[in-house]
Amino acid sequence: MSGQAKPSKVSASVDFARAGRQVGYLSAPHSRDGSGWGAARFPIAVFKNGTGPTLFLTGGNHGDEYEGQIALVKLIQGLDPQRIQGRVIVMPFLNFPAAVAGTRLSPIDGVNMNRAFPGDRDGTVTRMIADFIYRHILPLTDAVADLHSGGKSMYFSPFGAIHALDETAQMRRAEAALHAFDPPIALVLRELDAEGMLDSAVEGLGKVFVTTELGGGGTTSAATIAVAERGVRNLLIHFGLFEGKPQTRAGLGLPPMRRMTMPDDAYVVADDAGLLEMLVDIDGRVASGQPIAHIYRTDRPGDAPAVYRAGADGVLIGRAHLCRVEPGDFLAMVAREA
Ligand code: ZN
Protein backbone atom coordinates (compact mmCIF):
# COMPACT_ATOMS: atom_id res chain seq x y z
CA MET A 1 0.00 0.00 0.00
CA SER A 2 1.53 3.33 -1.01
CA GLY A 3 1.94 5.97 1.65
CA GLN A 4 1.89 3.56 4.60
CA ALA A 5 5.32 4.75 5.72
CA LYS A 6 4.24 8.39 5.67
CA PRO A 7 2.98 9.89 8.93
CA SER A 8 -0.72 9.75 9.62
CA LYS A 9 -2.83 12.80 8.74
CA VAL A 10 -4.68 12.20 12.02
CA SER A 11 -3.45 13.92 15.18
CA ALA A 12 -4.23 13.02 18.80
CA SER A 13 -4.88 15.60 21.53
CA VAL A 14 -4.01 12.94 24.13
CA ASP A 15 -0.54 11.63 25.00
CA PHE A 16 -0.68 7.83 25.23
CA ALA A 17 2.44 7.80 27.45
CA ARG A 18 1.20 10.29 30.05
CA ALA A 19 -0.05 9.11 33.46
CA GLY A 20 -3.48 10.13 34.76
CA ARG A 21 -6.81 10.69 33.02
CA GLN A 22 -7.08 12.44 29.66
CA VAL A 23 -10.26 12.93 27.64
CA GLY A 24 -9.61 14.36 24.20
CA TYR A 25 -9.95 13.48 20.56
CA LEU A 26 -8.38 12.18 17.38
CA SER A 27 -8.62 14.79 14.65
CA ALA A 28 -8.82 13.95 10.94
CA PRO A 29 -8.71 16.70 8.31
CA HIS A 30 -12.22 17.16 6.87
CA SER A 31 -12.47 20.09 4.50
CA ARG A 32 -16.09 20.63 3.50
CA ASP A 33 -18.46 23.31 2.25
CA GLY A 34 -19.37 24.56 5.74
CA SER A 35 -15.79 24.41 7.14
CA GLY A 36 -13.04 24.82 4.57
CA TRP A 37 -10.18 24.14 6.98
CA GLY A 38 -12.22 21.92 9.27
CA ALA A 39 -11.52 18.59 10.92
CA ALA A 40 -13.58 15.65 12.17
CA ARG A 41 -12.94 14.94 15.87
CA PHE A 42 -13.30 11.46 17.36
CA PRO A 43 -13.47 11.36 21.20
CA ILE A 44 -10.84 9.26 22.97
CA ALA A 45 -9.87 8.79 26.63
CA VAL A 46 -6.60 7.50 28.09
CA PHE A 47 -6.16 6.27 31.67
CA LYS A 48 -2.65 5.33 32.75
CA ASN A 49 -1.00 4.49 36.02
CA GLY A 50 2.24 2.62 36.76
CA THR A 51 3.12 -0.28 34.54
CA GLY A 52 0.84 -3.01 33.27
CA PRO A 53 -1.02 -4.16 30.21
CA THR A 54 -2.92 -1.91 27.79
CA LEU A 55 -6.58 -2.59 27.05
CA PHE A 56 -8.30 -0.80 24.16
CA LEU A 57 -12.10 -0.58 24.58
CA THR A 58 -14.32 0.51 21.71
CA GLY A 59 -18.05 1.09 21.18
CA GLY A 60 -19.97 2.75 18.37
CA ASN A 61 -17.89 1.03 15.68
CA HIS A 62 -21.34 1.04 14.08
CA GLY A 63 -23.07 4.26 15.07
CA ASP A 64 -26.51 2.74 15.74
CA GLU A 65 -25.31 0.21 18.35
CA TYR A 66 -25.62 1.67 21.82
CA GLU A 67 -24.68 -0.66 24.70
CA GLY A 68 -20.97 -0.11 24.11
CA GLN A 69 -21.38 3.64 23.67
CA ILE A 70 -23.27 4.01 26.96
CA ALA A 71 -21.15 1.57 28.99
CA LEU A 72 -17.90 3.20 27.83
CA VAL A 73 -19.11 6.77 28.46
CA LYS A 74 -19.98 5.61 31.98
CA LEU A 75 -16.51 4.03 32.29
CA ILE A 76 -14.82 7.30 31.23
CA GLN A 77 -16.82 9.19 33.85
CA GLY A 78 -16.28 6.68 36.64
CA LEU A 79 -12.78 5.23 36.24
CA ASP A 80 -10.20 6.52 38.72
CA PRO A 81 -6.74 6.31 37.10
CA GLN A 82 -5.15 5.90 40.55
CA ARG A 83 -6.98 2.59 40.90
CA ILE A 84 -5.56 0.98 37.73
CA GLN A 85 -2.20 -0.63 36.99
CA GLY A 86 -1.47 -0.19 33.29
CA ARG A 87 -3.34 1.68 30.61
CA VAL A 88 -6.92 1.79 29.35
CA ILE A 89 -7.64 3.51 26.02
CA VAL A 90 -11.34 4.12 25.36
CA MET A 91 -13.14 5.18 22.18
CA PRO A 92 -16.87 5.04 23.00
CA PHE A 93 -17.81 6.21 19.47
CA LEU A 94 -15.29 4.55 17.16
CA ASN A 95 -17.14 5.87 14.11
CA PHE A 96 -18.11 9.18 15.73
CA PRO A 97 -19.87 10.82 12.75
CA ALA A 98 -22.01 7.66 12.40
CA ALA A 99 -22.79 7.70 16.14
CA VAL A 100 -23.92 11.34 15.95
CA ALA A 101 -26.09 10.53 12.93
CA GLY A 102 -27.44 7.33 14.54
CA THR A 103 -26.39 5.33 11.49
CA ARG A 104 -24.29 2.22 10.88
CA LEU A 105 -22.02 3.88 8.31
CA SER A 106 -20.33 7.26 8.40
CA PRO A 107 -22.47 9.99 6.80
CA ILE A 108 -19.21 11.70 5.75
CA ASP A 109 -17.96 9.02 3.35
CA GLY A 110 -20.48 6.16 3.58
CA VAL A 111 -17.75 3.88 4.97
CA ASN A 112 -18.31 1.05 7.45
CA MET A 113 -15.53 1.48 10.06
CA ASN A 114 -15.55 -2.28 10.53
CA ARG A 115 -14.62 -2.84 6.88
CA ALA A 116 -12.02 -0.04 6.78
CA PHE A 117 -9.05 -1.77 8.50
CA PRO A 118 -6.08 -1.62 8.25
CA GLY A 119 -7.06 1.80 6.96
CA ASP A 120 -5.49 4.23 4.51
CA ARG A 121 -3.75 7.48 5.45
CA ASP A 122 -4.67 8.85 2.01
CA GLY A 123 -8.28 7.65 2.23
CA THR A 124 -11.48 9.30 3.41
CA VAL A 125 -12.06 10.27 7.06
CA THR A 126 -13.11 6.79 8.23
CA ARG A 127 -10.11 5.16 6.50
CA MET A 128 -7.71 7.78 7.91
CA ILE A 129 -8.93 7.07 11.46
CA ALA A 130 -8.66 3.30 10.90
CA ASP A 131 -5.07 3.81 9.68
CA PHE A 132 -4.20 5.84 12.79
CA ILE A 133 -5.72 3.20 15.07
CA TYR A 134 -3.94 0.41 13.21
CA ARG A 135 -0.52 2.06 13.24
CA HIS A 136 -0.56 4.07 16.47
CA ILE A 137 -3.01 2.47 18.94
CA LEU A 138 -3.09 -1.27 18.22
CA PRO A 139 0.72 -1.65 18.62
CA LEU A 140 0.34 -0.26 22.19
CA THR A 141 -2.38 -2.73 23.16
CA ASP A 142 -2.38 -6.24 24.61
CA ALA A 143 -6.10 -6.78 24.14
CA VAL A 144 -9.07 -5.14 22.44
CA ALA A 145 -12.75 -5.41 23.31
CA ASP A 146 -15.09 -4.03 20.62
CA LEU A 147 -18.70 -3.83 21.82
CA HIS A 148 -21.34 -4.29 19.10
CA SER A 149 -25.11 -4.84 19.03
CA GLY A 150 -27.49 -5.54 16.18
CA GLY A 151 -28.00 -1.90 15.22
CA LYS A 152 -31.26 -0.73 13.71
CA SER A 153 -31.49 -3.66 11.30
CA MET A 154 -30.69 -6.73 13.45
CA TYR A 155 -31.43 -8.19 16.85
CA PHE A 156 -29.30 -10.69 18.84
CA SER A 157 -29.66 -12.70 22.00
CA PRO A 158 -26.89 -10.97 23.96
CA PHE A 159 -23.61 -12.79 23.32
CA GLY A 160 -19.87 -12.30 23.61
CA ALA A 161 -17.67 -13.79 20.91
CA ILE A 162 -14.21 -14.68 19.77
CA HIS A 163 -13.13 -16.20 16.45
CA ALA A 164 -11.59 -19.58 15.76
CA LEU A 165 -7.86 -18.84 15.32
CA ASP A 166 -5.07 -20.98 13.90
CA GLU A 167 -2.78 -19.85 16.73
CA THR A 168 -3.94 -22.07 19.60
CA ALA A 169 -2.24 -20.06 22.37
CA GLN A 170 -3.73 -16.81 21.07
CA MET A 171 -7.20 -18.38 20.86
CA ARG A 172 -6.87 -19.72 24.43
CA ARG A 173 -6.02 -16.21 25.68
CA ALA A 174 -9.03 -14.78 23.81
CA GLU A 175 -11.25 -17.53 25.22
CA ALA A 176 -10.07 -16.78 28.77
CA ALA A 177 -10.85 -13.08 28.26
CA LEU A 178 -14.30 -13.90 26.84
CA HIS A 179 -15.11 -16.15 29.79
CA ALA A 180 -13.93 -13.39 32.17
CA PHE A 181 -16.33 -10.99 30.41
CA ASP A 182 -18.95 -13.59 31.40
CA PRO A 183 -21.68 -12.89 28.81
CA PRO A 184 -24.98 -14.83 28.76
CA ILE A 185 -23.66 -16.72 25.69
CA ALA A 186 -19.98 -17.22 24.79
CA LEU A 187 -19.81 -17.92 21.07
CA VAL A 188 -17.03 -18.95 18.73
CA LEU A 189 -18.16 -16.83 15.80
CA ARG A 190 -17.77 -17.39 12.09
CA GLU A 191 -18.22 -14.12 10.17
CA LEU A 192 -20.14 -13.73 6.92
CA ASP A 193 -17.51 -11.21 5.76
CA ALA A 194 -14.33 -10.81 7.87
CA GLU A 195 -12.20 -8.69 5.51
CA GLY A 196 -11.40 -5.20 6.80
CA MET A 197 -12.74 -5.79 10.30
CA LEU A 198 -11.06 -4.38 13.42
CA ASP A 199 -11.34 -7.98 14.67
CA SER A 200 -9.14 -9.38 11.90
CA ALA A 201 -6.66 -6.48 12.21
CA VAL A 202 -6.16 -7.09 15.94
CA GLU A 203 -6.01 -10.86 15.57
CA GLY A 204 -3.53 -10.51 12.70
CA LEU A 205 -1.19 -8.67 15.11
CA GLY A 206 -1.34 -11.67 17.47
CA LYS A 207 -3.35 -9.86 20.14
CA VAL A 208 -6.42 -10.81 22.15
CA PHE A 209 -9.72 -9.72 20.63
CA VAL A 210 -13.16 -10.03 22.19
CA THR A 211 -16.39 -8.74 20.68
CA THR A 212 -20.11 -8.77 21.52
CA GLU A 213 -23.56 -8.55 19.99
CA LEU A 214 -25.71 -7.29 22.86
CA GLY A 215 -29.20 -6.73 21.48
CA GLY A 216 -30.14 -4.35 18.72
CA GLY A 217 -33.03 -2.65 17.01
CA GLY A 218 -31.36 0.73 17.54
CA THR A 219 -32.02 0.73 21.28
CA THR A 220 -30.83 -0.80 24.56
CA SER A 221 -32.30 -2.43 27.66
CA ALA A 222 -31.21 -2.29 31.29
CA ALA A 223 -30.19 -5.94 30.97
CA THR A 224 -28.01 -5.48 27.86
CA ILE A 225 -26.26 -2.40 29.25
CA ALA A 226 -25.60 -4.36 32.45
CA VAL A 227 -23.93 -7.13 30.40
CA ALA A 228 -21.64 -4.53 28.78
CA GLU A 229 -20.74 -2.71 32.01
CA ARG A 230 -20.12 -5.85 34.01
CA GLY A 231 -18.15 -7.42 31.16
CA VAL A 232 -15.85 -4.40 30.81
CA ARG A 233 -15.19 -4.29 34.56
CA ASN A 234 -14.50 -8.04 34.60
CA LEU A 235 -12.06 -7.61 31.69
CA LEU A 236 -10.12 -4.91 33.58
CA ILE A 237 -9.82 -7.32 36.51
CA HIS A 238 -8.93 -10.26 34.22
CA PHE A 239 -5.98 -8.35 32.74
CA GLY A 240 -4.76 -7.21 36.17
CA LEU A 241 -5.56 -3.56 35.44
CA PHE A 242 -8.05 -3.27 38.25
CA GLU A 243 -8.25 -4.89 41.67
CA GLY A 244 -11.45 -6.42 42.86
CA LYS A 245 -13.59 -9.46 42.52
CA PRO A 246 -15.21 -10.19 39.15
CA GLN A 247 -19.00 -9.98 39.20
CA THR A 248 -19.99 -13.41 37.98
CA ARG A 249 -23.34 -14.57 36.65
CA ALA A 250 -23.38 -17.16 39.43
CA GLY A 251 -22.80 -14.47 42.06
CA LEU A 252 -25.73 -12.46 40.66
CA GLY A 253 -28.04 -15.48 40.63
CA LEU A 254 -28.16 -15.51 36.81
CA PRO A 255 -28.23 -18.73 34.74
CA PRO A 256 -24.72 -19.93 33.82
CA MET A 257 -22.98 -18.71 30.66
CA ARG A 258 -23.83 -20.93 27.67
CA ARG A 259 -20.91 -21.90 25.41
CA MET A 260 -21.93 -22.04 21.77
CA THR A 261 -20.40 -22.65 18.36
CA MET A 262 -21.72 -22.04 14.87
CA PRO A 263 -22.73 -25.03 12.78
CA ASP A 264 -22.34 -25.08 9.00
CA ASP A 265 -25.35 -23.35 7.43
CA ALA A 266 -25.79 -21.22 10.56
CA TYR A 267 -26.90 -18.21 8.52
CA VAL A 268 -30.27 -17.86 6.78
CA VAL A 269 -30.30 -15.21 4.02
CA ALA A 270 -33.25 -13.82 2.05
CA ASP A 271 -33.74 -14.69 -1.62
CA ASP A 272 -37.01 -12.76 -1.83
CA ALA A 273 -38.25 -9.21 -1.33
CA GLY A 274 -41.24 -8.59 0.86
CA LEU A 275 -42.60 -8.77 4.36
CA LEU A 276 -40.76 -10.94 6.91
CA GLU A 277 -42.76 -13.05 9.35
CA MET A 278 -40.52 -14.76 11.91
CA LEU A 279 -41.96 -18.12 13.00
CA VAL A 280 -39.44 -18.56 15.83
CA ASP A 281 -38.43 -15.91 18.36
CA ILE A 282 -34.95 -15.12 19.65
CA ASP A 283 -33.63 -17.90 21.94
CA GLY A 284 -36.09 -20.38 20.41
CA ARG A 285 -34.85 -23.90 19.70
CA VAL A 286 -34.86 -24.97 16.06
CA ALA A 287 -34.28 -28.23 14.20
CA SER A 288 -32.59 -28.51 10.82
CA GLY A 289 -35.24 -28.14 8.10
CA GLN A 290 -37.76 -26.50 10.42
CA PRO A 291 -39.53 -23.48 8.89
CA ILE A 292 -38.35 -20.39 10.78
CA ALA A 293 -39.60 -17.53 8.59
CA HIS A 294 -41.98 -16.57 5.81
CA ILE A 295 -41.52 -13.77 3.29
CA TYR A 296 -44.77 -12.45 1.77
CA ARG A 297 -44.74 -10.65 -1.58
CA THR A 298 -46.59 -7.42 -1.01
CA ASP A 299 -47.17 -6.92 -4.76
CA ARG A 300 -48.93 -10.32 -4.95
CA PRO A 301 -50.75 -10.82 -1.66
CA GLY A 302 -52.60 -13.83 -3.08
CA ASP A 303 -49.35 -15.81 -3.45
CA ALA A 304 -48.18 -18.26 -0.79
CA PRO A 305 -45.12 -16.96 1.11
CA ALA A 306 -41.56 -18.13 0.53
CA VAL A 307 -40.59 -20.47 3.36
CA TYR A 308 -37.17 -20.24 5.05
CA ARG A 309 -35.84 -23.16 7.06
CA ALA A 310 -33.13 -23.58 9.68
CA GLY A 311 -29.99 -25.10 8.14
CA ALA A 312 -28.97 -26.75 11.40
CA ASP A 313 -30.18 -27.83 14.83
CA GLY A 314 -29.61 -25.22 17.52
CA VAL A 315 -30.87 -21.99 19.03
CA LEU A 316 -31.98 -18.91 17.09
CA ILE A 317 -29.63 -16.24 18.49
CA GLY A 318 -29.90 -13.55 15.78
CA ARG A 319 -32.55 -12.23 13.41
CA ALA A 320 -33.40 -9.35 11.11
CA HIS A 321 -35.10 -6.59 13.09
CA LEU A 322 -36.84 -4.88 10.18
CA CYS A 323 -39.83 -6.54 8.54
CA ARG A 324 -39.18 -5.21 5.03
CA VAL A 325 -36.51 -7.40 3.49
CA GLU A 326 -34.67 -7.62 0.17
CA PRO A 327 -32.80 -10.49 -1.51
CA GLY A 328 -29.39 -10.84 0.15
CA ASP A 329 -30.54 -9.58 3.55
CA PHE A 330 -29.50 -11.44 6.71
CA LEU A 331 -32.62 -13.13 8.14
CA ALA A 332 -31.45 -15.32 11.00
CA MET A 333 -28.53 -17.04 12.69
CA VAL A 334 -28.46 -20.37 14.51
CA ALA A 335 -25.86 -21.40 17.10
CA ARG A 336 -25.33 -24.72 18.77
CA GLU A 337 -24.61 -25.44 22.42
CA ALA A 338 -20.98 -26.62 22.67
ZN1 ZN B 1 -21.78 -3.68 14.80
User: pLDDT digits over 147-160, tens only?
Assistant: 999 999 999 999 99
Distance between CA atoms of residues 113 and 279, nearest Å: 33
Q: What residues have a C-beta under 5 A from ligand 1, the ion?
A: 62, 65, 148
Q: Please, are residues 288 and 315 in contact by the beta-carbon 8 Å criterion?
A: no
pLDDT (0 to 100) of residue 197:
97
Q: What is the mean pLDDT of residues 301-308?
A: 98
Give residue-wise pLDDT tens across range 218-250: 999 999 999 999 999 999 999 999 999 999 999
Q: Please, are residues 203 and 165 in contact by the beta-carbon 8 Å criterion?
A: yes
Residue 3 has pLDDT above 80, yes or no: no
pLDDT (0 to 100) of residue 193:
84
Give residue-wise pLDDT tens across range 133-152: 999 999 999 999 999 999 99
Q: Please, are residues 13 and 132 in contact by the beta-carbon 8 Å criterion?
A: no
CA of 112 to the centre of ligand 1 (A): 9
CA of 257 to the centre of ligand 1 (A): 22
Distance between CA atoms of residues 261 and 114, nearest Å: 22
Distance between CA atoms of residues 42 and 25, nearest Å: 5
Q: What is the mean pLDDT of residues 323-337?
A: 98
pTM for the structure as a whole: 0.97
With bands split at pLDDT 50, 70 and 90, how would you rate the model's confidence at 190? Answer: confident
Give residue-wise pLDDT tens across range 32-55: 999 999 999 999 999 999 999 999
CA of 193 to the centre of ligand 1 (A): 13
Which candidate, 157, 156, 20, 170, places its Cα nearest to that of 81? Answer: 20
pLDDT (0 to 100) of residue 204:
96
The domains located in the chain, with CATH, are 11-261 (3.40.630.10), 267-337 (2.40.50.100)
Residue 1 has pLDDT above 50, yes or no: no
pLDDT (0 to 100) of residue 5:
75
CA of 63 to the centre of ligand 1 (A): 8
Distance between CA atoms of residues 10 and 40, nearest Å: 10
* Residue 57: strand, helix, or coil: strand
CA of 299 to the centre of ligand 1 (A): 32
* Residue 153: strand, helix, or coil: coil
With bands split at pLDDT 50, 70 and 90, how would you rate the model's confidence at 317? Answer: very high
115 conformational bin, left if phi > 0, alpha if psi -120 to 50, beta if neither:
alpha
CA of 211 to the centre of ligand 1 (A): 9
CA of 199 to the centre of ligand 1 (A): 11
Q: Please, are residues 106 and 97 in contact by the beta-carbon 8 Å criterion?
A: yes
Q: Please, are residues 281 and 304 in contact by the beta-carbon 8 Å criterion?
A: no
CA of 149 to the centre of ligand 1 (A): 6
With bands split at pLDDT 50, 70 and 90, how would you rate the model's confidence at 2? Answer: very low
Q: What is the mean pLDDT of residues 183-210?
A: 94
pLDDT (0 to 100) of residue 194:
85
Give residue-wise pLDDT tens across range 89-125: 999 999 999 999 999 999 999 999 999 999 999 999 9
Residue 4 has pLDDT above 70, yes or no: no
CA of 151 to the centre of ligand 1 (A): 6
With bands split at pLDDT 50, 70 and 90, how would you rate the model's confidence at 192? Answer: confident
Question: In the chain, pLDDT over 90 holds for what percent of residues?
Answer: 97
Amino acid at 246: P
